[in-house]
Structure 1
Amino acid sequence: MERAELVQELKTLRKGRGLQGKVEERVGPFLRSACSVSEDDGLMAIRAKVAGRLSELAAHLPEDLRLAALAAFAIAAEAHQPLYQDRVRWAARRVDRDPRTVRRRVDEAIDLLAELATGSSRVSAAAPESSWHTTLLAVAMVLDQPQPSVLEQRRVVADQDGLSSLDLAVSLPSGREDLEVTVLYGGTLVDRGMEATDRWGYGIEMPRPLARGESCEVAILFRPATLRPCMVSVPRHPCDQFDLRVRFGADRPREVWALDGAFQRDVSDSGYRGRRHEVDEAGELHLTFHHLTPGMAYGARWTTGRPEENSR
């Protein structure tokens, strides 16, 4: 694969509606190869493969370049404007820079994405294809009991033979010692330690290795000692559907905002609103998201008037 040709194809893809346009006509042979697009793939499959692969590669870029790239190709949910210049202006507002600066960052990001895809980058090795993906992630958060709890149920499919474990993580408002974790079914918990000051990495060892195309289901119960006023998923691997339920009970929040493909920093940014959503008469919130982009945040944030928060 030639890097120069791939750069040109990426520059062509960013025009017009980006990935929201007629991608089957504008995804060239080098980009198809980089994203494992086959001749039999239709519009939806091409869009999903290209968006997924570019998102994986963009995860290796600095945050400003990553934002510029996801906006340029209309991968970010809030950057689905019909014109490239509109998406550039959107990104410029987000990073508080002028559009000319963002255009330069898009060009820089495209160069780095092409290097990553062709395996010639000095910044980082190209992201490997995911070894598994989630077909359904269902999270139920209960806040009207003496101790809050979060039930996570996940159905995953192996994308390669011999899948024996799942790599996962959870963000914590305090230390790992304040989180009680119980695997209800599906495997054995592996503590991988703190990956960052507020992120604990863990794994699930499967009862047996899975062959490519096999599926399994895992359920984990989390009982945190402290909470943040949000519940979001930031998938590391492709996820087809995320179903979120939050039970507030009588202690309803003042405002609830749905976050659909937000950047991670927006989760805790009070200036970022998202889409306003109502809580029903039972004091419950129900949201569903489809075709989640790895590295982006999906879920809800609410205003309670209290400092406690929760984030996943």
Structure 2
Amino acid sequence: MMARDDQLVHDLKTLRKGRGILASAIGSRVGPALRRASGTNGLEHAADLRRKLSDRLWRWSTELPEDLRLAVLAAFALDQPDQLPLYKDRVRLVAERLNRDERTARRRIDEGIERLAEVAIANSVPAGFTEPATSWHTEELRVTLALDQPTPEAFEFRRIVADHDRIEHVDLALALTANGLARGEDLEIDVFHGGRVAGRATEPADRSGYRLALPKALRRHESHQIGLRFRVRRDWLLAPHYVCVPKHRCSEFDLRVRFDLDHLPSRIWRLVNAFQRDVEDPEPRGEALPLDRSGEIHTLFRELTPGLAYGIRWHPGKGTGAA
């Protein structure tokens, strides 16, 4: 019989085949050791299993060296905008990104999976203990970003669903990427409906965190609508991108951006399943999005993977700054 870490390595190598984490029959692809380590025993619904596995793989990978992290995330189909369906194509992608041949890329993936198994076992939940589940998730997130105003504004309408009883608050965060570090006073938050701001804190990665106290405690499976507006200081120059990086399950993200007609971008890219560092990559990749006659774009994302970025980035037009 295989030792537990060897069995986990075997299960991870099985999962990387074909479409990886995007495989349609994912339940049959997740072995017993991987289920134990990821806390997915008892999860049979494909969407729930995929979300939790994605979250675990992403979390474990943060403890790997950068080259191994890149290799394993590509191997499981977690980091590509085009979601390559064949493992051999993802190996080729790793080779290109590491500037190595494919044989070396395969060795990096194997080494990364072995290290990933070590991290997974070190962080797995001991037998007899129950891991706390996410207390709520987002069913729908609709954002309208207005960049043609004196002060950039984002309107956010979110529908959340409680995963447990007596959910009395939600903790949210917004990352400001601009010409300086974000502080609480740099961001105005107006609540249109759905609660009140009960506290604020600066989180890692320049995220401005805030707690929203709900009007009443939610019961399990009960939904709740939240409406917010965000504004930054007038003297801030926002970076040329807007993305959602969900911490937990997010079923749908609908994004509309309105640009200033006098300062239109020269090109806009759609970002899907992107690393956060890819958002500022000097050589953008992804689908190009056209502007309509009003200077607006509209794009929709479904079943977002926790920890990955979804949204748009753009190149400012000639003679303009970031919108």
Shorter-normalised TM-score: what interval?
0.7 to 0.9
Q: Alpha carbons of 1:159 and 1:68: their partners in 2 closer, same or farther (altered >3 Å)?
A: farther
Question: For structure 1, which segment, 247-256 or 71-80, has the greater mean C-alpha deviation from structure 2 after superposition?
Answer: 71-80
Q: Does 1:263 align with 2:275?
A: yes
Q: TM-score, normalised by structure 1?
A: 0.84
What secondary structure, in the 3-state scheme, does the structure 2 residue paired with 1:71 have?
A: helix
What secondary structure, in the 3-state scheme, does the structure 2 residue paired with 1:16 have?
A: coil
- Which residue identity lines up with residue 18 of structure 1 in the other structure? G
Match of 2:173 among 161, 165, 169: 169
**What is the aligned partner in structure 1 of residue 249 from structure 2?**
238
Structure 1 runs not aligned, ≥5 long: none
What secondary structure, in the 3-state scheme, does the structure 1 residue paired with 2:89 have?
A: helix
What is the alpha-carbon distance in structure 2 between the residues aligned to residue 163 and residue 60 of structure 1?
Answer: 31
**What is the aligned partner in structure 1 of residue 142 from structure 2?**
138
- Which residue identity lines up with residue 309 of structure 2 in the other structure? A
- Which residue identity lines up with residue 315 of structure 2 in the other structure? T
Structure 2 runs not aligned, ≥5 long: 125-129
Number of aligned positions between the proteins: 304
Decide whether the 8 Å contact of 2:55 with 2:307 is kept in 1: no
Question: For structure 1, which segment, 260-269 or 55-64, has the greater mean C-alpha deviation from structure 2 after superposition?
Answer: 55-64
Deviation at 1:291, TM superposition (A): 0.7
**What is the aligned partner in structure 2 of residue 205 from structure 1?**
213
Q: Alpha carbons of 1:94 and 1:203: their partners in 2 closer, same or farther (altered >3 Å)?
A: farther
Q: Alpha carbons of 1:259 and 1:163: their partners in 2 closer, same or farther (altered >3 Å)?
A: same
Match of 2:307 among 279, 295, 303: 295
**What is the aligned partner in structure 2 of residue 281 from structure 1?**
293
Q: TM-score, normalised by structure 2?
A: 0.82
1:116-155 pair list within 5 angstroms: 116-120=119-123, 129-155=133-159
* 1:38-80 deviation digits (Å, cap 9, x = unpaired): 4753x55544443344334435545444332221111234363
- Which residue identity lines up with residue 151 of structure 1 in the other structure? F
**What is the aligned partner in structure 2 of residue 7 from structure 1?**
9
Decide whether the 8 Å contact of 1:56 with 1:127 is kept in 2: no
Q: Does 1:78 align with 2:60?
A: no
Deviation at 1:154, TM superposition (A): 1.1
What is the alpha-carbon distance in structure 2 between the residues aligned to residue 45 and residue 201 of structure 1?
Answer: 26
What secondary structure, in the 3-state scheme, does the structure 2 residue paired with 1:8 have?
A: helix
- Which residue identity lines up with residue 186 of structure 2 in the other structure? D
What secondary structure, in the 3-state scheme, does the structure 2 residue paired with 1:78 have?
A: coil
* 1:115-171 deviation digits (Å, cap 9, x = unpaired): 4544557xxxx9954222111111101122222210111111122333232222222
- Which residue identity lines up with residue 234 of structure 1 in the other structure? V
Q: Alpha carbons of 1:188 and 1:3: their partners in 2 closer, same or farther (altered >3 Å)?
A: farther
Decide whether the 8 Å contact of 1:59 with 1:295 is kept in 2: no
Q: Does 1:55 align with 2:63?
A: no
Question: For structure 1, which segment, 199-208 or 240-249, has the greater mean C-alpha deviation from structure 2 after superposition?
Answer: 199-208
Match of 1:94 among 75, 94, 97: 97
Q: Alpha carbons of 1:158 and 1:3: their partners in 2 closer, same or farther (altered >3 Å)?
A: farther
* 1:194-233 deviation digits (Å, cap 9, x = unpaired): 2246322222222333232222122221111222221111
Q: Alpha carbons of 1:214 and 1:106: their partners in 2 closer, same or farther (altered >3 Å)?
A: farther
* 1:181-203 deviation digits (Å, cap 9, x = unpaired): 21222222244432246322222
- Which residue identity lines up with residue 14 of structure 2 in the other structure? T
What is the alpha-carbon distance in structure 2 between the residues aligned to residue 60 and residue 211 of structure 1?
Answer: 36
**What is the aligned partner in structure 2 of residue 219 from structure 1?**
227
**What is the aligned partner in structure 2 of residue 19 from structure 1?**
21
What is the alpha-carbon distance in structure 2 between the residues aligned to residue 48 and residue 302 of structure 1?
Answer: 29
What is the alpha-carbon distance in structure 2 between the residues aligned to residue 131 and residue 98 of structure 1?
Answer: 44
**What is the aligned partner in structure 2 of residue 107 from structure 1?**
110
CA RMSD for the aligned pairs? Answer: 2.9
What is the alpha-carbon distance in structure 2 between the residues aligned to residue 178 and residue 130 of structure 1?
Answer: 30
Instruction: Percent identity, please.
Output: 47
